[in-house]
Amino acid sequence: MLSIEHYLFLGLALFVIGVIGVITRRNVIVVLMSIELILNAVNINLVAFSRLYGDVVGQVFALFIIADAAAEAAVGLGIIIAFFRNRETVLADEMDLLKW
């Protein structure tokens, strides 16, 4: 029998993997992908709770999160393209113009 903890642990696992990806990867595109993973983990929790309480509110908020992810991906990738055009790189630690 499945209980809510199963889903919470799955969400936690995906979330932690996503966080590790965000912190360790140098490639900004992969960092953005890891952020998608994190958002996805949150969605799993929301939908699981929506099922637990027999209510669709969790699903509605998951929808908002997906819309948010779309907005984030569009702007993030736009920035990456603009940055790549100027500096010819997508590595996070080479974005150091303000550092000296």
Q: Which of residues 36-65 bind other proteins (CB under 8 A)?
A: 36-37, 40, 43-44, 47-48, 50-54, 56-57, 59-60, 62-64
**Rounded to an integer, what distance in angstroms lies between the CA atom of residue 31 and that of residue 62?**
21
Any contact of residue 35 with other proteins (CB under 8 A)?
A: no
**Rounded to an integer, what distance in angstroms lies between the CA atom of residue 11 and that of residue 47?**
11
Name the β-bridge partners of 40: none
| Binders of other proteins in range 68-97 (CB under 8 A) | 68-75, 77-82, 84-85, 89-93
CB of 71 to other proteins, least distance (A): 3
The SS3 call for residue 90 is: coil
**Rounded to an integer, what distance in angstroms lies between the CA atom of residue 100 and that of residue 97?**
8
CB of 45 to other proteins, least distance (A): 11
